[in-house]
Structure formats: C-alpha cells, structure tokens
A and B are shown apart, each in its own frame.
Chain A
C-alpha cells in the first residue's frame, strides 16, 4: 500500500533531528557523570582525555598550563594562518604588496596578522617553559622517555615554522635574516674551505641550494619557505602532536608522586629498585616479570599484582582523588584557551607586527637581526658561523633529546627539582651559567678575540676555539663536575639544562637589546650612531 510507505517516510522525516542527534551522541544528553564519561571516551577528540582526571593534574602548579597554552597558540596560528593565506601571494613581486594590503586594506587583516605574529612569539615562549617544566619535574623519566623525544621534535618544528614564516613578508628584515640563515646552512664550507676539500665535498653548498633552490634568496626560496611554512611543517606538527597526546595517556597520564600504577609501568624502575634493595629476585627495568609475580600474588592473595605493577593494590585509593574530566578538565582547558586567545588578541590590537621596507638585495639592514629566539644563536654565529650556527645547536638538541636515555635514575615524576640537592644544584648552575655566558660576551667585547691578538691565526683555530665553543665546553665541564660531586646523572642533567636555559636567555638578551649597528655592543639603543 502506498499509504504505509509514505507514512514511514513522513515519520522518519519528522524525526530526522532526533535520530541525527542520537546517531551523533549515542549515550544521550550529558546530564549525568556516567553519560559525560561515555561522551569523553566515545568521542574521537575528547577521548585524548581519560574519563577521570587526578586532582593534582588540574592544579596550576603541576603543569603551569604551558602544554595547553602551546596547543592553544598553535590552534590560533592555524586559524589566523589560513585566513592570511586568502590574501598572501608567495611571489617576489607581489608578496610585499600583499602584506601591505593585508595591513591597510583587508578587513581585520591588520589584527589577524598581528595576532599571528604574537601567537607565534608566545608559542615559542610556552614551548620553552613547557620543556623546562617537564624537565625540572623529572617527567621525562621512564616510561615517558619517548614522549620527551616527541616533544623535542615539536620544539624543533616550532622553531622551523617560525623561521620559515619570517621570510614571507619579503621585507628587509625577512630578506636579510633568511640570507643569514641560508648561509648558516651553507657554513660547513667554512670548515671544508679551511681543510681545502670544498671542491669535491661540499655539504654546505648542498644544504644551501636545497633550502633556497638557487644560490641567493629569491623566488625559489620564497616558494619553498612558503610550502614548508603552510604545508609540510604543520603536517609534521600534527602527526607528532597526535603521538605526543596519545603517549601522555598511554604513559599513565601526568607524572605525580605515588602516581597511578599502569600496565605501561608507573615508576617501574622504582619498584625494581625496591625489589633489588630487598634482595628479592630483581627483574631488569622495563621487563614485566610475569613468571615471578603470580606465585607471590597467590601467597599474598593480591590478584591484581599480576596485572598492575606496584607494591600495593590501588583499590579504592586512587579513584577518590580523581574527578570527572568532564567538566573539570575540559573547563580548565577551555579557560586556558580563552586566556591565550585574549592575550594574543590584546597584543594584536595594540601592537603592530613589524613590516620594514621592501627587500633590497644590495643594502643589508644594519643591524640585521633574526627573531629574538634566534639571537642567542646569532650571538654565537658572530664568532664562527659553522660552530655557532650548526654544530653547537646540533649538540644542544642532541643533548636535550638524549637526557632521558642518559639519566635513567629511578625516581618519580612530578616534584620540581626532586629534592633539596636538586634545588641547590639548580641555583648554583644558574649562577655558573649566567657568569659564564656574561663572560662569553664581555671578554670579546672588551678585549677582542684571537684575531685581534694574533692577526695571522689560521681559520681552523678560530672555528674550534671561540667564545661559543668555550661556553659550550664550560657548561659540559660544569655538568661533569656536578656528576662527580653528587654522583647522580639526574643532578648532572639539572646542572646542564639550567646552564643551557640561562645561557640561552642571556645570549638572546644581548643579541636583542645590546647589539647595534655592525653588531657592536651598546648599553642602550639610544647610543646607536645616527646615519
């Protein structure tokens, strides 16, 4: 019968809103804790959270909110970046004009561009602080070593994104900063030249040509940087972010003293250490001693011990310290996100991103400065391009990446500086690192360097003995000193990381504020010579 078919159709049509909602949210309205928990674990985006969060996770002091702030700035950058792409034209003739258009003509263009610039600066800051927080709380320890590596990858990608974005306005600042950057990529020639082998082995020239697609910064370089900035690097960031967040869950959430035991092994090393200390049969760290545990479990009637590695069953202990992620965690995240939006919007409305004159390949900016977070490098580059621009950064990144593999001391994550010794080491390293960094700047500024004393000194000597390499060596020696004195790789790591952090801050400050025309030293910008 016709009527039945039509009736069904009409009923279905009328129920489309309801049945669509049911298909979208299967567990019904989120009116109870249970429904909200189901919503969290059945939604692809929300399921990055566990359904319940530990109260400690929600405390500001645990994370300083830096990870979430970094993600917030990244999201802001994606949205504003896509909007800017509507008008931006990656071509030497049009790029600068389209920047002017965005600034003066496009509706909201000025604010969107400013917000993009400010969020980029802020993201670099929060990445640094996030890394410092994770380091000082020991949160890179087993089982979180691999996630520390993912974080290092994201750190490098963040810097690469901001460097590639720097060229796009095609103004004087952009052109010369990238010329310098590309020549740093080509600086292995400094070493190969000194050894006289550039003719047949030229990694520097290869890198530079690959980056620029030419021997000078021009159209090819602009389109390459654009491609990296809007496509390649963001895709890598998204991939690493997914792994980074996933591993937070899989590694047992945020580290905390007495944290939740997980199969992945919260403080597995600590348990093993205890077992070894008690003279019990000790499994090597990381190996689940399946054969051993059931018999013990049987004797003590702790069935759970076979599955969850810890000294005591977690029954009824931990859940009382947790709260539903919806609403508590989601609310905190939204709050941080809104704070980040507000901050970058306020900065964007009141402070314009710089745009200098259009790029001129004949007249460098004086001084030609990279973005502030590269000025520490530029300070070292002003002694030797190859060491300061490539070798030392590579050593720093490699050293940071290896931290969780070189410091494998058992310990719990979540306590800043671990203990009183850690705090003492950090303070002393801060002092040592600061004095060494200031001397690194002060000695060459006041007395010159090798070439001022011995005019005929070979380039090879300067490459290896310059203030930048000596500073790096001093930091390494200090760390070794702490290692011998305290007998602890964790303390040595704290020493090295603190030195690196304060050295970075001081050199960046000198590069940003105290260097003027010809990279000469000035106490204040008001002393710069007038041209």
Chain B
C-alpha cells in the first residue's frame, strides 16, 4: 500500500499527454525534414560536360586557342594537346591570359604558364582537363574529369 502513495515521477495522465506531444513534434519535424529534400537536385540541369573541340589537325603545335563558351584554353605542343580550365579556383571568375600566365580579375589571383598558383588567394592551380578522342576521330574535352598538370594527349 505505501508504494501506491509515493509520488510518481511522472503521473499517468502527464505521460500520455507528453508522449502525445512528443509524437506530434516528431511527426512534424520528420515530415518537414523529408519535405526539405525537395530543393536538393538529384539531376543537375546543365549542358553535357563532354564536348568536341575539333579534329586533331585543327591544332598546330606551339599554338593555343580559347574556347569562350566553355571557359577553357586548348594548348598544343610537340607533346600533344591539353585543355586547361579558365575557371578561377578561388571563387569561380574567369581568368584571362597574361604575358606570364593567367590572372583573375575578381580578387587578383595569378597563375603561371602551367596554371600553377603564383600569387593571390587561389587555393590551388587551374584545372587540367581530360582530352580524349571520339569515335569519329575528333578531340573531346571532359569538364568533369581533371587530370594532373602537364598531361598531354598525343595526337
């Protein structure tokens, strides 16, 4: 009998009420979190990352050309062809050619001739991109595949 008179830590009525409250809260928070998955895109709406840049014959060793739409520079030497991204590794502005390399207009990052950082806030060098050959023989650059600097695709 004394046991029944001892005060319970949580009364039965409170337990039911509190569990109802917490279950409601859990349901609301849970469904909100589920709904918040919506803004996270599963497929990114953008143009394909692989694109043709021309046939090997278009590139003469010792020259380079900037492809403006894709923000890359295609360079050709005796070793082969390489594509370097012009998107600044700092905050995504587009670097331009300077006499000794590349420089970015936004926050003054400076890159050397091989795209290596020589000044400014850029955390790393410009990205070198994979060059390959399509079935029809033309050269293809893949913006999503980065290769080590000084990787030349022999043509």
**Interface on A for B, CB 8 Å cutoff?**
176, 179-180, 182-184, 187, 190, 193-194, 206, 209-210, 213-216, 218-220, 224, 361-368, 378, 381-385, 448, 451-452, 455, 459, 462-463, 517-520
B28 within 8 A of A: no
Instruction: Return the contact of A368 from the options B41, B68, B71, B93 (Cβ within 8 A).
Output: B93
Known: A184-B91, A218-B46. A382 touches B108 (CB 8 A): yes
B40 within 8 A of A: yes
Query: Beyond the given A194-B123, A455-B118, could you list 14 further A-B residue pairs with CB under 8 A, ordered by the A residue number?
Result: A179-B93, A209-B40, A210-B39, A219-B45, A361-B71, A364-B105, A364-B106, A382-B107, A382-B108, A385-B123, A462-B123, A518-B108, A519-B106, A519-B108
Q: Which residues of B are found within 8 Å of A206, using beta-carbon distances?
A: 40
Q: Are B93 and A364 in contact (CB under 8 A)?
A: yes
Chain B positions 69 through 110: 1 when the CB is less than 8 Å from some CB of chain A, otherwise 0: 101000000000000000000111110000000011111100
B145 within 8 A of A: no
Q: Are A187 and B103 in contact (CB under 8 A)?
A: no
Q: Are A451 and B90 in contact (CB under 8 A)?
A: no
Assembled-state Cα–Cα distance A78/B148 (Å): 52
Q: Are B45 and A213 in contact (CB under 8 A)?
A: yes
- Tell me the nearest residue of chain A to B43, going by C-beta: A214
- Tell me the nearest residue of chain B to A363, going by C-beta: B94
Of the A-B pairs whose beta carbons lie under 8 Å apart in the complex, a sample of 27, sorted by A's number, is: A180-B93, A183-B90, A183-B91, A183-B92, A187-B91, A209-B40, A209-B44, A213-B41, A216-B46, A224-B39, A364-B93, A364-B104, A364-B105, A365-B105, A367-B105, A367-B106, A368-B105, A378-B107, A381-B107, A382-B107, A383-B121, A451-B119, A451-B120, A455-B118, A459-B124, A518-B108, A519-B105
- Tell me the nearest residue of chain A to B71, going by C-beta: A362
User: Interface size on B (CB < 8 Å)?
Assistant: 27
Q: Which residues of B are found within 8 Å of A367, using beta-carbon distances?
A: 105-106
Q: Are A518 and B121 in contact (CB under 8 A)?
A: no
Q: Which residues of B are found within 8 Å of A364, using beta-carbon distances?
A: 93-94, 104-106
Known: A366-B105, A382-B107. A459 touches B123 (CB 8 A): yes
Assembled-state Cα–Cα distance A183/B88 (Å): 10
Instruction: Return the contact of B94 from the options A218, A362, A385, A452 (Cβ within 8 A).
Output: A362
- Report the minimum CB–CB distance from B105 to chain A (whole Å): 4
Instruction: Return the contact of A448 from the options B41, B104, B119 (Cβ within 8 A).
Output: B119
B141 within 8 A of A: no
- Report the minimum CB–CB distance from B112 to chain A (whole Å): 10
B117 within 8 A of A: yes
Q: Are A193 and B41 in contact (CB under 8 A)?
A: no
- Tell me the nearest residue of chain B to A452, going by C-beta: B119
Q: Are B91 and A179 in contact (CB under 8 A)?
A: yes
Instruction: Return the contact of B91 from the options A180, A448, A462 (Cβ within 8 A).
Output: A180
Assembled-state Cα–Cα distance A139/B107 (Å): 39
Interface residues of A, dominant DSSP: helix
Q: Which residues of A are found within 8 Å of B46, using beta-carbon distances?
A: 214-216, 218
- Report the minimum CB–CB distance from B65 to chain A (whole Å): 14
Q: Which residues of B are found within 8 Å of A383, using beta-carbon distances?
A: 121
Assembled-state Cα–Cα distance A459/B117 (Å): 10
Q: Are B44 and A215 in contact (CB under 8 A)?
A: yes
Known: A224-B39, A520-B108. A182 touches B45 (CB 8 A): no
Assembled-state Cα–Cα distance A363/B123 (Å): 21
- Report the minimum CB–CB distance from B132 to chain A (whole Å): 21
Q: Which residues of B are found within 8 Å of A463, using beta-carbon distances?
A: 123
Q: Which residues of B are found within 8 Å of A519, using beta-carbon distances?
A: 105-108
- Report the minimum CB–CB distance from B123 to chain A (whole Å): 5
- Report the minimum CB–CB distance from A104 to chain B (whole Å): 29
Segment 23-68 of B: residues with Cβ below 8 Å from A? 39-41, 44-46, 68
- Report the minimum CB–CB distance from B74 to chain A (whole Å): 15
Assembled-state Cα–Cα distance A224/B125 (Å): 31
Q: Are A193 and B106 in contact (CB under 8 A)?
A: no
- Tell me the nearest residue of chain A to B90, going by C-beta: A385
Q: Which residues of B are found within 8 Å of A214, using beta-carbon distances?
A: 41, 44-46
- Report the minimum CB–CB distance from A184 to chain B (whole Å): 6
Chain B positions 11 through 29: 1 when the CB is less than 8 Å from some CB of chain A, otherwise 0: 0000000000000000000
Assembled-state Cα–Cα distance A124/B31 (Å): 36
Q: Which residues of A are found within 8 Å of B120, using beta-carbon distances?
A: 382, 451
Q: Which residues of B are found within 8 Å of A366, using beta-carbon distances?
A: 105-106
- Report the minimum CB–CB distance from B10 to chain A (whole Å): 25
Q: Which residues of B are found within 8 Å of A180, using beta-carbon distances?
A: 91-93, 106
Assembled-state Cα–Cα distance A147/B138 (Å): 65
Q: Which residues of A are found within 8 Å of B92, using beta-carbon distances?
A: 179-180, 182-183
The residue among A179, A194, A363, A364 with the most chain B CB atoms within 10 A of its own CB is A364
Assembled-state Cα–Cα distance A70/B40 (Å): 34
The residue among A194, A219, A368 with the most chain B CB atoms within 10 A of its own CB is A368
Assembled-state Cα–Cα distance A323/B105 (Å): 59
- Report the minimum CB–CB distance from B117 to chain A (whole Å): 7
The residue among B40, B68, B91, B121 with the most chain A CB atoms within 10 A of its own CB is B91
Assembled-state Cα–Cα distance A517/B93 (Å): 13
Known: A179-B92, A180-B93, A216-B46. A381 touches B121 (CB 8 A): yes
Assembled-state Cα–Cα distance A459/B90 (Å): 12
6 closest A-B pairs (Cβ-Cβ)?
A366-B105, A519-B108, A382-B107, A183-B91, A183-B92, A364-B93
Assembled-state Cα–Cα distance A160/B111 (Å): 33
Assembled-state Cα–Cα distance A364/B123 (Å): 19
- Report the minimum CB–CB distance from A30 to chain B (whole Å): 44
Q: Which residues of B are found within 8 Å of A459, using beta-carbon distances?
A: 123-124
- Report the minimum CB–CB distance from A283 to chain B (whole Å): 27
- Tell me the nearest residue of chain A to B116, going by C-beta: A455
Assembled-state Cα–Cα distance A182/B90 (Å): 12
Q: Which residues of B are found within 8 Å of A362, using beta-carbon distances?
A: 68-69, 71, 94
- Report the minimum CB–CB distance from A357 to chain B (whole Å): 15
Known: A214-B41, A519-B107. A190 touches B119 (CB 8 A): no
Q: Are B91 and A193 in contact (CB under 8 A)?
A: no
- Report the minimum CB–CB distance from A263 to chain B (whole Å): 28
- Report the minimum CB–CB distance from A462 to chain B (whole Å): 8
